Structure 1
């Protein structure tokens, strides 16, 4: 089976915004407590943060982390997480029916994020709270002058402002499960007024307004349009959330879910452009896909945790090889839409539907989905090229046409590299990928990394890292054309030096 891709350095979709490789830490389950933070662990630093987790997060190369939620956000009082730790209140978290100790708050998390070279995408509670708490939080975090809240920040040990750039206006406010759930009219008005107040405190910040919590919501599209009728001129990004899973145990259809993701992105961009036209605006609103991942394994189990625990085991999906392939397809889809998707947050980072797992008082290890994410976040920097693709396809009950090849090619001018990311969706046939890179000279392969040949249900454990990339030499170069053989059911990264 053969496929051909033609690219030119002059035909560019967009430069990749590094924040597209963001992640998400919510005060949920064991993401924070027993995840990034475990005082007393033999591998923890003086502040209680696990060094082995920090090393893995640094390897993932995550530039932005959304915090502190999530559903947790809609009942959270940010003031509970500042000041002397021993004096902080324990609260009932109604979102996950757990106890929040507030040992980790703004100062602790901002300090941890700095150690892993990540900025924080801070979220404000628009469920049980509103304009006042949000503007006070911006003042606390970002104001350099003499004021009540900035002085409290200094008293709590942070002399200089945190200078947080990106802020989320609530979380999934269309969802009936949300504490403080609102109609589009109610939320649109609140988001507009909150945005105005926050930017009066600091006009350099960027704001993300809530879109639908997934594309299957009955209010999808009408929610986005009505919210943007109010908030369009005061915000910078519209959020998207979506999770995928192999619920029918049909791998061919599962591998095609990135097509659904692509349709969702293009639909939401179209809604933004409709409101732009309706308002006769010159402003283009971009997208923040700030929750996305594979999430279905933990739904198969009886989550019988007793309520009101601290850091219970919640949504600890164990990912297999087919999940890594699908996540690779989803990452490629996000990057292919880099002209509109500027921020994306893999939900979540540790233990809770995450690429990194930990054991209490034990090791930390990489799940199968760790590798595609790490490789794209590391090597997927530069200009996304607009390709011409010729590739055979197959059909499923959900999708009439599914290309066997899912691919994106990025030109990293700084590194003088052309990087090809590709998934072969075929269950049993190799796919010869021919890349015509006619504008590039002196094409040489630096590395051809491939994940292939595993049982589709194989997983990684603390004892054995079975599913991981290996080196392939199954390629050849003729003038400016690269031919590489992509094994059946494979994730591939080909890095080429170019002039």
Structure 2
């Protein structure tokens, strides 16, 4: 049995974890909206047509913020189509995914859904086919109290109080040739800067996200970041990152090492941001919004066979397996270990479309395998991310060398007197013993050791058949701040500690 060591102290602080690190995404794509969060004829639908079975699963995740309405879709979207009486809303060709958009769900309805889900809205604006005017009007409609054209129109639509949406994305993936209204770096930088200036005149309290590269493989990465930030640095609060992963080669050990590629991506973006900070002699540090991330590759072949111009087809409906859940856990660990710079992140997406929650039209809703590490991190990963000093055995894979068996992050919640150790043993066949010295936590005890494991890396969950679920029979001991834990091969582990005598939910 191999051994890994970890030294941790409550004073080794990376940063406070921003709860928005556990955000998600709903785009008008496939069945994310229609058949996902909104299905008026469903047995569980409430008086607004929202599926309450889905709402319950979203609340369980404690999702703090949800990006809306896109995504690629937003770059040719007229937000005015989704307000006012439903029977007067136009049916449109949705160009990004080549479907029919009925506009039965729009800005006001999504704001209502978000309130019911206990989450905030991260609103994206169209900088593909539109620009400054549409953006400022949408912001006025959403956030201004009244007495103007657009705010009074919202009131006429039945919403006397502003939606008070505070986080806004300045377009989506504007470097991508697939994007309607693709921009060069200078074109995007200028329109984003001028739009940001106008929006802040409407509401000075908003937070703005500038588009980064669509992914780390773009030929213009990271020059896109450097050029666009040269324009936008003084006007925005966050730079976006997007990245998806897939086991295309069916090499599971190599697949679980993709977090190393993710770490390099984040480090490069941070270095680029800091270069522009130095160039501008700025005192502001640019924070990151990783507002699209997930596994995405299972549905690729099926999506090629879909007929265009249909309503809410089953697009991007990846059925996730156990190894996907392990990688998602590793990604969340990576985010926690960069909590000093990554302040927001959105798992893309939330329901049906590359999502932790799946539904049947008229039928059940259930948890995919990736639901569990996402839920564990969101529920238990609130507090201060601590800096672990880790010594781990390593392995080599097809694309990576010196891959640690152990990936781990720890979150300390002083107010609740809890410590949560997230640990991934990415070795497929070897058990790992974790020997951890937790400085300052001598009076803590183990609440539970949750494990997600399965003998079949390709095991999936389906309606009525939850093959991959966590258990709390993990083997660990804590004595006077010395933690010993057994991490089974290919396992996701959540070891929860609490100060002895402290109250709170178990």
Per the alignment, residue 258 of structure 2 pairs with 257
Per the alignment, residue 270 of structure 2 pairs with 269
Rounded to whole Å, the distance in 2 between the matches of 1:134 and 1:300 is 36
Offset, 1:478: 2.6
C-alpha deviations, 1:247-293, integer Å up to 9, x for none?
Answer: 11111110001111111111101111000000011111100000000
Q: Are 1:7 and 1:437, in contact at CA under 8 Å, matched by a contact in 2?
A: yes
Q: Are 1:165 and 1:206, in contact at CA under 8 Å, matched by a contact in 2?
A: yes
Per the alignment, residue 380 of structure 1 pairs with 381
Per the alignment, residue 503 of structure 2 pairs with none
Do structure 1's residue 306 and structure 2's residue 307 form an aligned pair? Answer: yes
Structure 2: where are the runs of 5+ without partners?
501-506
Rounded to whole Å, the distance in 2 between the matches of 1:445 and 1:300 is 45
1:177-196 counterparts in 2 under 5 A?
A: 177-196=178-197
Rounded to whole Å, the distance in 1 between the matches of 2:477 and 2:158 is 58
Per the alignment, residue 455 of structure 1 pairs with 456
Q: Are 2:442 and 2:479, in contact at CA under 8 Å, matched by a contact in 1?
A: no
Do structure 1's residue 479 and structure 2's residue 486 form an aligned pair? Answer: no
Offset, 1:47: 0.8
1:12-31 counterparts in 2 under 5 A?
A: 12-31=13-32
Offset, 1:303: 2.6
Offset, 1:230: 0.6
Q: Are 2:29 and 2:97, in contact at CA under 8 Å, matched by a contact in 1?
A: yes
Per the alignment, residue 349 of structure 1 pairs with 350
Per the alignment, residue 200 of structure 1 pairs with 201
1:2-401 counterparts in 2 under 5 A?
A: 2-301=3-302, 303-401=304-402
Rounded to whole Å, the distance in 1 between the matches of 2:133 and 2:269 is 30
Per the alignment, residue 426 of structure 2 pairs with 425
Q: Are 2:451 and 2:474, in contact at CA under 8 Å, matched by a contact in 1?
A: no
Offset, 1:380: 0.2
SS at match of 2:277: helix
SS at match of 1:471: coil
Do structure 1's residue 469 and structure 2's residue 458 form an aligned pair? Answer: no
SS at match of 2:408: strand
Structure 1: where are the runs of 5+ without partners?
none
Offset, 1:144: 1.6
Rounded to whole Å, the distance in 1 between the matches of 2:252 and 2:176 is 30
Q: Are 1:60 and 1:378, in contact at CA under 8 Å, matched by a contact in 2?
A: yes
Q: Are 1:450 and 1:472, in contact at CA under 8 Å, matched by a contact in 2?
A: yes
SS at match of 2:59: helix
Q: Are 1:454 and 1:467, in contact at CA under 8 Å, matched by a contact in 2?
A: no
Rounded to whole Å, the distance in 1 between the matches of 2:39 and 2:405 is 44
Offset, 1:302: 5.5
Offset, 1:64: 0.2
Rounded to whole Å, the distance in 2 between the matches of 1:283 and 1:220 is 23
RMSD of aligned residue pairs (Cα, Å): 0.9
What TM-score, normalized by structure 2, do the two folds share? 0.98
SS at match of 1:344: strand
More moved, 177-186 vs 466-475: 466-475
Rounded to whole Å, the distance in 2 between the matches of 1:400 and 1:96 is 38
Rounded to whole Å, the distance in 2 between the matches of 1:380 and 1:477 is 20
C-alpha deviations, 1:22-53, integer Å up to 9, x for none?
Answer: 00000000000011111111111111110100
Rounded to whole Å, the distance in 2 between the matches of 1:376 and 1:302 is 31
C-alpha deviations, 1:87-116, integer Å up to 9, x for none?
Answer: 111111010110100000011000001001
Rounded to whole Å, the distance in 1 between the matches of 2:310 and 2:303 is 17
Q: Are 2:44 and 2:52, in contact at CA under 8 Å, matched by a contact in 1?
A: yes
Q: Are 2:144 and 2:162, in contact at CA under 8 Å, matched by a contact in 1?
A: yes
Offset, 1:301: 3.4
Offset, 1:441: 2.4
C-alpha deviations, 1:46-95, integer Å up to 9, x for none?
Answer: 11110100001111110000000000000100111111111111111010
Change (3 A) 1:14 1:177: same
C-alpha deviations, 1:128-150, integer Å up to 9, x for none?
Answer: 00000001111111112411111
Q: Are 2:146 and 2:155, in contact at CA under 8 Å, matched by a contact in 1?
A: no
Rounded to whole Å, the distance in 1 between the matches of 2:119 and 2:72 is 22
Rounded to whole Å, the distance in 2 between the matches of 1:19 and 1:81 is 26
C-alpha deviations, 1:110-169, integer Å up to 9, x for none?
Answer: 000100100000010000000000011111111124111111111111111111010000
Rounded to whole Å, the distance in 2 between the matches of 1:454 and 1:395 is 22
SS at match of 2:366: strand
